[in-house]
Amino acid sequence: MDELHEPKSEALRALFWRDEILQLMFWVKGEGFGDAVDAELLERFLGVRAEVGLTYLDRLVDENLIERDVEGRYRLTTFGHEQGARVFAAEFAEITQPAHGECGADCWCHMSADEAEACLAERGQPVDNRSGS
């Protein structure tokens, strides 16, 4: 896997890996792949070397976002689960956002041709006024 391009400053790099790790842990748990991860899993999915991943995992333990079990694996705390869900939702929202000038899924233009024409006209886009007959 290609490595993610992390920020250059240590403070931003810590925030970057915090969000990446929480998002991954939330996804792994949500997909039913288990509720614990280790540094090797981070290396496989995120491209961060295992020894570096352990540093960030330990920071998340200090922040009460994850906890280490007796086997040396890491699990989300309740707070970590909430934060992971927030990061995951924000990332997913970016992917599913309508393009600039497009309507969202809840727009009436998806329900009728008249509404679609009105919506296009409102956005200054050409309206096809040809009738279907």
CA-based nearest residue to 102, from 117, 118, 123, 82: 123
* pLDDT of res. 9: 83
Q: Which residues contact 72 (CB under 8 A, 6 or more apart)?
A: 38
- Helix H or strand E encompassing 36: strand 36-37
At 9, the amino acid letter reads S
Mean pLDDT throughout 29-44?
91
What value does the mean pLDDT take over residues 32-44? 91
* SS3 state at 57: helix
Structure tokens of 108?
A: 């009436």
Considering only residues 61 and 50, tell me which one the structure prediction assigns the higher pLDDT: 61
**What is the predicted pLDDT for the residue at 105?**
64
Mean of the per-residue pLDDT values for the chain?
80
Q: Domains of the chain by range and CATH?
A: 10-96 (1.10.10.10)
At residue 4, the 3 state secondary structure works out as coil
Instruction: Give me the helix-helix angle, 39-46 and 50-62, nearest 10°.
Output: 110
Q: What is the mean pLDDT of residues 78-83?
A: 95
DSSP 112: -
